[in-house]
Structure formats: C-alpha cells, structure tokens
C-alpha cells in the first residue's frame, strides 16, 4: 500500500510523508476474581501528511488498499489546512537504538499470561473475603514505518508487556480500592511487586482516621508524583511557550526549583514504553534536560513548534489522540508530547523517608488534579487514596479531604526528600520514571 | 456496508457470537487564535467478532474484512478455552431478534456539508471571539463530526444496519491578564441537525465579554455552602456522580456495591427523579439500538428519591436477573460494548430559579463546568464561573470554584429542583475503560444542594 500511496501522492503534492502503524495486542483479563476474557486486537492504518500550495494537510485511513481514498481526502483538505511551516524528514545519520524489542515478550503465550493473571488474583484474594479483584496481563507488538518524499524511510518495532491488579471493597458507603501495575518493553513477570504494593495499601486503608484541616508534610508515591508531573509539564511544552502562556517562557537559565530537582524528557532509555529511535516525524529521539539541579534548561517541541520558537526539534512530535493515551494513533497529527518523564532519584530509600516522617499525609491517588489550570501550577485534588502518618507509622486512611499545593512555590521551597527508588508509572501525565517525593506545607482541607 | 455475515454465524458450536462492522468518515477541526491548528479527515474502517462460551469471552478486532471466517474461528476458540476453564454458564438477558435497516433522517444532513462550509462557519465565530476585547488573547475552537455506517449481526438472528451522524463543537475565548487566564464560550452538538451549529454569534459575544469580566472576579472563600448548580453543571454532576454508579458492570460482580445500590433504596428526597434515555432524538446521546442490537429505552434510575433501575448490557442484566436496557455501547469497532450512559437527566422540577435563589441566605450559584471526576464515592467538579448569593439575591460575579463531596450525602442534600430543564451538548464525551469520547448527553434543570465543600480562595 505504501508504494501505491507514494505513486499517487507524488503526482498530486509538492512533498509528502506516509506513516504506517501496525499493532497486535493480546490482553488477558480477570474480573471478580475469575478469568474473564482473552482478546486479540489488530490495528493497521496509514496516515498521509502532504504539502501543496504552501499548505499542509493530513488524513488517515484504516481501510486496506484504499490508497486512492487517502490521497483524495488529503487533497480535498489542502485549501482549509494550516500553512506549511516545516519540511518532512530527509536522509538521516545514525539514530539512537534503545532496547525496545524483546523476544521473550514476542514468545509469551496466552497460556502463560492466563497463569500470571491467575497468580495476581489468587494472591490478593486472602486480603478480604468480600474483595472484588480484577487484573490482567497484556502484550503488544507494534511496527512503525515513516516514508517521506525527501528520502527518509525507516522502521522500528516495539514489544510491550504490562500487568496489573486491583482490589476493591465496599463496606456500607465506604469504598476502598487499591491497584498497581507495571509496564515496559522488557519481559517482566514480577507479580510479587504488584501484590506487595496492593496488599500494603489495602491493609492500611481498611481503617479510616479523622484528620484535621491544616498544613502537613506530604509524601507522594510515584503514582501521585504523576499528578505533579502532569501539572508542571504543561509549562515545559514548547506549545505553551510559543503561545506565551507558559509561566516559564522567559526563565531558561534561571533557578526555578530546589537543587534536588532534576527532570529530563528522555526517549532513549532502554525498556521504557515511550522510547524509540525516532519520533512520529522522523526526528531522532533524545534526552532533553528540562530542569537540572533546580535550573530551567529547556522545553520540548515537535517540528512546527520548534521552528516557531527558533530551537531544534527535540524528538517529541508524537501522534497522540485524545485522552491520556501515550501510544501513537494513526489518526492523529503529530503534536508536542512527552516521551518518558524522568525525575532524577535522590539518596534516601522511600521506606526510610516514610519511617522518618513525624506527622504527615502519604498520598497515592488524587481526584480532580487534571481539571485545574495546569499553567497556574495549582495542584488541587480530593484524596482518593491517602493515609495519615505519625511517627513514621501509618495510622489509617484519610478520606473526604482536599489537598492543595502551589507547585511553583513548592518545588522551590518545600521539597524535603526525593527517594532513591523509582517506579515506572503511566498516568494522565504520560509515561514517567518517578521517585517518591516528600514536600512540606501541603494544605489539607477536611470536612 | 453490504457484507453477508450470516454464513459466519450459523452452524457454530458456541453459546453466542456477534459481528460488528463499521465504516466511518470523521472530521476534526481545531482553531487557536489566528491559526488553523488542525483540519483532518479520517476514515475508520474495520470490524470485530465477539464470542461467549460457558461464560468466557473473547473479542477479536481487525481492519481487513477479508479473513472474517478465521477471525470468527479465533474468537470462538479463545472463548471456549476460557469457558471450559471456568466451566461457567453464559448468562445473557434475552433480546428479541431484530432485523432492521436504519437510515439517517437528518434535519440538516452532515453529508451535505462540505469542508468549506464547516471552516467558514468556525472561522467566522473565531473572528467574533477574537474581536471582543484586547484582553482576549487567544481562542479555542474544537469541532468534530462523524458519519458512520454500522452493521451488527449475532448468532440469535439479529441483523441491523444503521446510518448515524454526530457533530459537536466547543467555542471558547481565552482572556489573559496579569497571569490570570479565564475562559468564556459555548458548546453545541447534535445527532440529526448540523445547523445546530449556526446562529451562535450573540451568545459568543456575551460569553467572551464574561471571560474578560472574570479576569478581575475573586474566588469565593473556601468553605461549606448551599449551592445552586446551573443545568450544565447539574447535568455533569448527575452523569459523573450517579450515572457511572448506575452502570451494571460496576455492580454485577460486586455484591457489596449491589447492596448499596439496592432497588428501592432512598438516595434523595422525593423531589429527585433521574433517568437515562436513548430516545431523545437530536441529542448526541440518541441511539435507536445499542451495540448489542438491543433497542434503547428510557430507563428510570431514581424515582421519587428511590433507586429504580440501572444501565445494563445483556451480560450484566443476565447475571443480575434484570432487563437489558439498550445501554451496551462501544466507542468504535476496536472495543467491545460495555454499559454506558446515553442522555442522563435529572427530571424537570417546578421551582423557579428566582425562588431557589430567594431561599438562600449565603450561598453560591455555580455556572457551567470545566470537568469532573469521581471514584464512585467522592466527586470533584470545576465550575466555569459563579455568583455569590446573599440574603436571597444573586450578587457579585465570582471565578469558578472547585466543588467536592460525597456522592451519597450530596444526592440526599438536593433540596430544590428548577423548572429550567435543558440538555446541552458539546464536542466532548464520556470516557470509561479506555473508550473516549463516547457521544453522551446530560440534561437537567438548576438544582439546589446543601452543604457542598467549595474550594476557592
């Protein structure tokens, strides 16, 4: 099909870029403590970006052999399309080569996945006789190919494996649910880490404790640090800098955070979900420093945003659709988006940080954090799963409480600790390698 | 889609098989400030087979329809593999075998509107928004439409083809001054009339001016208040806080939640009536058949304050011994259908908004909504803007605060329901289980709720 699109497109456009994505996924899922389904999904589609009359149009199709339809759709959109500000990728030198393929994932059979899911579910069952347990194991294999009229023709393949489990219990109007998952591009059958985390939080959460409104130290788990990243990253997107709405737009080189804080956007790390040799525009993946020892170093940008900002593209042009999906969708145009968000770990183990807390809140999930204006730096959420900690001990679950931080101030003045252990989490913030983080002065409002 | 699927469904030794095929042309336009950011057309073409045997499910999806026979066989093999392991029973609520071809009967048919007309309309609105005030620094215009042909057939003899249209648009001015950013705009959507997008000029001017005024509007002091939610916010509240709780898949395998959600249980005062319907023609949540081929209906969720129904797929209904409600929906062929909402509504009451305001000594009238989230038991919403209510009078304009609370307490604290019912649509949609945005609608009059936690200043 690519040859046919090439043939037709070269007659109609000044230049063009064809993207082909093929993905096969096999998810096995458990529900209510029992095996529920084994699915097989296959996605295969083509996207065309093309330049004519100074405009750049985009169109996609999942209909096999419909090269003509795709080219005609694209041509029809030309008059109403954005001005062409970029050129498509040309011949390129060496590309980074992160390890994102794994034969063990390729060979992983349904039978083995059913077994792993079974272990997760069975080991969580003893936690509570009325617990509702769900979980699953999935594997994905995908191939992406980009071909341009400027001589770029590259392909990469990726294997991904993920598993997760959750337990929920309803006791009157008290609902508790705890979950954990692992994802990556290397085979990982560590069911124990999931079981351990879920069990610990579940046991802590079975008892509700009253907490007074006020200022507290707050220890964010790697999952909750995802909320912090989700809000902060709005300010390091090249797009918000270009639109002049990022409060960091003129602050490169300035100290905006505590020295302990270093954040990278890095698409070249072995084994992480959003690593690849190149982005969806054929730009080599790279490690981009955002904040180094508290100093703002730079932003991330797709090709058009980079051009507008007068910087080099950072390999962050990804075909992301709606929602919080961090995989590439054939029907989306490339936009500036994070690869893997990485916070540099500190020196103290998370267990020791928790043990050293005199009094505070441990928070694993927050509701509503993605609804505020991220560019204001305000983190404000109803605590979904959080605990009251006193003298290093977890006393019980904190409920009906709203936690608020002004993150721009908090990352300067209130970072107490960053853990040495990190976890790979996926959230609305995308794919992150997050440590645990202890902050001072969190504002808690309770009933 | 003229494909004979009958041969793939007959003579198979499997409890249940269905095939769903889709061919959809979608347009997406995004304008920001002076730039057309996106104007794309995409064709979504593909299908799936779902099979169930002895209670085990398999779902197989694909883009090429060439190999349908093998896809069906793969689904059956996998369903049997699980079913035989489980040794369970396939429990699907009964559904009548239906043969129907549903043609699109639109007031203004999307297929007759070309890209030029769409773009001219949107750019015209964008110009209006930009010219309101120098403080309007940029705009956010999002437009989506889809024309879809669907074919659904199952091993019980149902075969339905449907033509559908869907259109949604959000138009916002973004005002910016001294680090403050405020939004003002409106949204529309329709399943049968593209022209719903027309004639918004005056409304946009008014809302754009509001965004500018909000730049200097204070947030209310945080605390517990009696609040009035406008229809938009009340509709979102009932969707997020109660609609999701009514979805059968959240309840059917969860006996403890089922206990909380027992039919007849008092959730609100007798004035509260809530329903979900697929039958409101024209709204985005309208559909004649769900994605299991079950005719949709008006399902009462709360009657006179008491729980009276929930939203089911055939499986969740079958397992709970209840009726399939035509609520099994899939966002596209890449996903299996799951219980979802259609148009979720608080029924119109008889109190005038002015009287509701007059009854409040110190409270907040919250208008419009910027998003909401719930975990079943607790909810958080961000309102667009608000007014202080002081001694029974609507007074000062306020920036929109966050509202939060416990779902169950809050339903019980609804003390007045207005007579100003509307069911506004937008370009958004509902997300669940990785399926987003599904075209849903929510309708409501204004409602008064006591003791809501408001986080403002």
Query: What are the pLDDT digits (tens) for A232-266?
Result: 999 999 999 998 889 999 999 999 999 999 999 99
Residue B207 predicted with pLDDT over 90: yes
**Is the pLDDT higher at A288 or at B176?**
A288
* DSSP 8-state assignment for residue A255: B
Average pLDDT of every residue of chain A: 95
C-alpha span between B344 and B274 (Å, rounded) = 7
**Contact flag A43-B334 (C-beta cutoff 8 Å):** yes
**Which of B33, B380, B399 has the highest number of chain A CBs within 10 A, making it the mutation to test binding with A?**
B380
- Is there a contact between A32 and B376 if contact means CB atoms under 8 Å apart? no
Distance of residue A261 Cα from the nearest chain B Cα, in angstroms = 25
| A408 confidence band (pLDDT: 50, 70, 90) | very high
Average pLDDT over residues A268-290: 97
Left, alpha or beta for B262 (phi > 0: left; psi -120 to 50: alpha)? beta
Flag whether pLDDT at A175 surpasses 90. Answer: no
Give the B window 200-219 contacts with A, CB below 8 Å: none
Q: Tell me the CA distances in angstroms from B236 to A87, A243, A423, one per residue in order.
A: 43, 30, 35
Give the phi and the psi of residue A236 in degrees, each rounded to 5.
-110, 10
Quick one: pLDDT at residue B254?
82
pLDDT in tens, A76-130: 999 999 999 999 999 988 999 999 999 999 999 999 999 999 999 999 999 999 8
Average pLDDT of the segment spanning B151-157: 96
Percent of chain B having pLDDT more than 70? 100
| DSSP letter (8 states) at residue A323 | T
Token pair 């110190």: residue: B362
How do residues B323-362 score in pLDDT, each as one tens digit?
999 999 999 999 999 999 999 999 999 999 999 999 999 9
3-state class of B210 per DSSP?
A: helix
Tell me, what's the pLDDT at A322?
61
Contacts of A116 (CB under 8 A, 6+ apart): A137, A163, A189, A191
Residue of chain A minimizing CA distance to B373: A368
The answer for B 38-67 residues in CB contact with A (under 8 A) is 38-46, 56-64, 66
Question: Dihedral through CA B127, CA B132, CA B138, CA B141, nearest 10?
Answer: -50
Q: What is the pLDDT of residue A323?
A: 58
> Side by side, which strands form the sheet with B298-303?
B306-307, B298-303, B274-277, B343-346, B441-443
pLDDT of residue A270: 97
Q: Which residues contact B181 (CB under 8 A, 6 or more apart)?
A: A245, A373, A375, A376, B174, B175
pLDDT tier at A171, thresholds 50, 70, 90: confident
pLDDT tens digit sequence for B166-188 = 999 999 999 988 878 899 999 99
Collect all residues of chain B within an 8 Å Cβ-Cβ radius of residue A69.
43
Shortest CB distance from B380 goes to which of A43, A172, A371? A371
Q: Return the pLDDT at B433.
A: 81
Dump the DSSP string for A95-144: --------HHHHH--HHHHHHHHHHHHHHHGGG-TT-EEEEEEEEEEEEE
What pLDDT was estimated at residue B302? 98
Compute the nearest-CA separation of B257 from chain A (Å): 6
| Record: contact B43-A380, CB cut-off 8 A | no
Question: Which of A368, A375, A376 has the CB atom closest to B402's CB atom?
Answer: A368
Contact B382 A170 (CB under 8 A): no
Q: Return the minimum-mean-pLDDT range out of A195-199, A322-326, B401-405.
A: A322-326
Whether the CB-CB separation of A15 and A299 falls below 8 Å is answered with no
Q: What is the mean pLDDT of residues A372-390?
A: 92
Q: Model-level pTM?
A: 0.91
Whether the Cβ atoms of residue A51 and residue A15 lie closer than 8 Å to each other:
yes
Picking from B74, B377, B404, the nearest residue to A175 by CB comes out as B377
Q: What is the pLDDT of residues A180-231, one digit of tens each?
A: 999 999 999 999 999 999 999 999 999 999 999 999 999 999 999 999 999 9
* Number of helices followed by number of strands (H, E) in chain A: 10, 20
What's B100's DSSP letter?
E
- Tell the residue number behind the tokens 């997300």, with chain if given: B431
Whether the predicted pLDDT of A447 surpasses 80: no
Please check the confidence at residue B441 and state whether its pLDDT lies above 90: yes
- What pLDDT does residue A324 have? 62
- Band of residue A327 on the pLDDT scale cut at 50, 70, 90: confident
Measured between beta carbons, the chain B residues lying within 8 angstroms of A373 are: 181
Least confident of A318-322, B110-114, B311-315: A318-322
Chain A to chain B Cβ contacts (< 8 Å): 204
Choose among B41, B138, B255: nearest Cβ to A77: B41
CB contact under 8 A, A172 and B86: no
C-alpha dist (Å) from residue B358 to A101, B142, B144, B299, B386: 66, 38, 40, 33, 16
CA distance A397 to B256: 20
Average model confidence (pLDDT) across chain B: 95
């Amino acid at each position: 099909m690519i040859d046919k699109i090439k043939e037709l497109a070269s007659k109609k456009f000044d230049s063009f870029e064809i993207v082909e994505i093929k993905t096969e996924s096999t998810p096995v899922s458990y529900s209510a403590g029992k095996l529920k389904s084994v699915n097989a999904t296959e996605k295969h589609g083509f996207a065309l970006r093309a330049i004519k009359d100074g405009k750049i149009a985009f169109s996609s199709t999942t209909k096999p052999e419909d090269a003509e339809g795709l080219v005609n759709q694209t041509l029809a959109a030309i008059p109403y399309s954005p001005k062409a500000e970029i050129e498509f990728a040309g011949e390129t030198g060496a590309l980074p080569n992160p390890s994102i393929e794994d034969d063990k994932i390729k060979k992983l059979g349904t039978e083995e996945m059913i077994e792993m899911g079974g272990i997760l579910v069975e080991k969580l069952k003893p936690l509570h006789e009325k617990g509702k347990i769900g979980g699953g194991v999935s594997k994905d294999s995908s191939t992406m190919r980009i071909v341009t009229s400027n001589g770029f023709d590259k392909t990469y393949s990726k294997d991904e494996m993920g598993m997760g489990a959750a337990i929920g219990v309803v006791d009157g109007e008290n609902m508790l649910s705890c979950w954990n998952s692992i994802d990556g591009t290397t085979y990982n059958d560590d069911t124990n880490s999931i079981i351990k985390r879920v069990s610990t939080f579940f046991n802590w959460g079975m008892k509700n404790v009253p907490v007074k409104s006020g200022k507290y130290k707050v220890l964010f788990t790697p999952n909750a640090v995802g909320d912090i990243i989700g809000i902060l990253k709005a300010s390091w997107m090249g797009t918000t800098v270009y639109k002049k709405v990022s409060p960091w737009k003129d602050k490169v080189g300035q100290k905006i955070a505590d020295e302990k804080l270093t954040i990278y956007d890095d698409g070249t790390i072995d084994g992480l979900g959003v690593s690849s040799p190149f982005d969806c525009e054929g730009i080599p993946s790279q490690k981009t420093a955002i904040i180094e020892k508290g100093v703002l170093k730079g932003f991330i940008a797709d090709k058009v945003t980079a051009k507008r900002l007068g910087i080099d593209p950072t390999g962050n042009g990804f075909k992301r659709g709606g929602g919080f999906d961090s995989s590439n969708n054939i029907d989306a145009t490339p936009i500036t988006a994070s690869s893997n968000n990485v916070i540099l770990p500190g020196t103290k183990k998370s267990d020791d940080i928790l043990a050293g807390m005199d009094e505070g809140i441990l928070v694993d999930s927050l509701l509503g954090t993605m609804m505020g204006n991220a560019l204001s730096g305000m983190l404000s959420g109803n605590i979904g799963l959080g605990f009251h900690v006193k003298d290093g001990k977890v006393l019980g679950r904190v409920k009906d409480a709203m936690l608020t931080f002004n993150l721009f101030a908090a990352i300067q003045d209130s970072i107490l600790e960053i853990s040495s252990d990190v976890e790979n989490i996926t959230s609305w913030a995308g794919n992150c390698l997050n440590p645990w983080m202890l902050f001072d002065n969190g504002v808690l409002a309770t009933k | 889609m003229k494909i004979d699927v009958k041969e793939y469904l007959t003579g198979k030794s499997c409890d249940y098989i269905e095939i769903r095929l889709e061919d959809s042309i979608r347009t997406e336009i995004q304008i920001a400030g002076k730039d057309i950011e996106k104007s794309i057309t995409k064709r979504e073409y593909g299908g799936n087979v779902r099979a169930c045997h002895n209670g085990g499910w398999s779902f197989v999806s694909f883009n090429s329809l060439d190999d349908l026979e093998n896809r069906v066989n793969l689904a059956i093999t996998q369903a049997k593999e699980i079913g035989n392991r489980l040794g369970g029973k396939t429990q699907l609520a009964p559904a009548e075998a239906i043969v129907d071809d549903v043609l699109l009967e639109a007031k203004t048919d999307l297929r007759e509107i070309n890209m030029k007309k769409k773009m001219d309309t949107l750019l015209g609105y964008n110009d209006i928004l930009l010219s309101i005030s120098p403080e309007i620094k940029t705009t956010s215009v999002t437009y989506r439409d889809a024309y879809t042909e669907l074919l659904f057939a199952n091993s019980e003899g149902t075969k339905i083809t449907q033509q559908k249209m869907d259109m949604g648009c959000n138009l916002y001015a973004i005002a910016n001054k001294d680090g403050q950013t405020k939004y003002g705009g409106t949204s529309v959507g329709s399943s049968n009339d593209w022209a719903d997008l027309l004639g918004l000029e005056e409304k946009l001017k008014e809302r754009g001016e509001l965004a500018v005024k909000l730049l200097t509007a204070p947030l209310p002091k945080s605390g517990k208040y009696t609040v009035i939610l406008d229809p938009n916010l009340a509709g979102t509240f009932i969707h997020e806080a109660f609609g999701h709780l009514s979805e059968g898949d959240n309840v059917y395998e969860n006996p403890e939640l089922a206990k909380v959600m027992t039919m007849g249980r008092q959730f609100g005062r007798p004035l509260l009536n809530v329903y979900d319907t697929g039958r409101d023609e024209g709204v985005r949540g309208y559909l004649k058949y769900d994605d299991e081929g079950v005719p949709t209906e008006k399902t009462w969720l709360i009657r006179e304050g008491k729980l009276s129904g929930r939203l089911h797929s055939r499986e969740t209904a079958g397992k709970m011994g209840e009726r399939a409600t035509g609520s099994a929906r899939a966002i596209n062929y890449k996903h299996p259908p799951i219980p979802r909402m259609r148009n979720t509504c608080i029924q119109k009451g008889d109190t005038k908004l002015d009287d509701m305001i007059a009854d409040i000594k110190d409270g907040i009238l919250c208008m419009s909504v910027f998003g909401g989230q719930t975990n079943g038991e607790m909810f958080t919403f961000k309102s667009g803007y608000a007014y202080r209510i002081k001694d029974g009078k609507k007074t000062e304009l306020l920036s929109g605060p966050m509202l939060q609370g416990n779902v169950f307490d809050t339903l019980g604290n609804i003390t007045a329901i207005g007579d100003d019912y509307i069911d506004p649509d937008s370009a958004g949609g509902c997300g669940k289980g990785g399926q987003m945005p599904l075209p849903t609608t929510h309708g409501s009059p204004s409602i008064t709720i006591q003791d809501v936690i408001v986080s403002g200043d």
